[in-house]
């Protein structure tokens, strides 16, 4: 099964080798037919501590690195 790749914005880089990424998804409400914005935060592994708050990044699913980290940073997303 292919690994999911998500794109989001770094909201926190205070932890060592960890960043928090806010991923926003948009979908049409089934009944109201209005576009709804939904967001979720993921904790991702950043080996080199190279990404800072506000950076747009891509994250990919991986084997568990810690209790809360199941994602790894792939690259900086092109805006």
Structural domains in the chain, CATH included, are 5-74 (2.40.50.140)
Assign 62 a pLDDT band (cuts: 50, 70, 90): very high
pLDDT tens for each residue of 10-42? 999 999 999 999 999 999 999 999 999 999 999
Collect all residues with Cβ–Cβ distance below 8 Å to 59 and sequence separation of at least 6. Answer: 5, 6, 7, 8, 21, 23, 42, 44, 71, 72, 73, 74
Collect all residues with Cβ–Cβ distance below 8 Å to 69 and sequence separation of at least 6. Answer: 18, 43, 44, 45
Say whether pTM exceeds 0.75. Answer: yes
The predicted structure's pLDDT at residue 79? 58
Strands 71-76 and 35-45, by their bridges, are parallel
Q: Which of 34, 36, 59, 37 lies closest to 46, judged by CA? A: 59
Assign 75 a pLDDT band (cuts: 50, 70, 90): confident
């Amino acid at each position: 099964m292919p690994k999911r790749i998500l794109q989001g914005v770094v909201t926190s880089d205070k932890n060592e080798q960890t960043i928090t990424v806010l991923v926003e998804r948009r979908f049409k409400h089934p009944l109201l037919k209005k576009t709804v914005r939904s967001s979720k935060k993921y904790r991702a592994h950043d080996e080199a501590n190279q990404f800072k708050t506000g950076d747009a990044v891509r994250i990919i699913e991986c084997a568990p690195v810690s209790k809360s980290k199941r994602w790894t940073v792939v690259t900086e997303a092109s805006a």
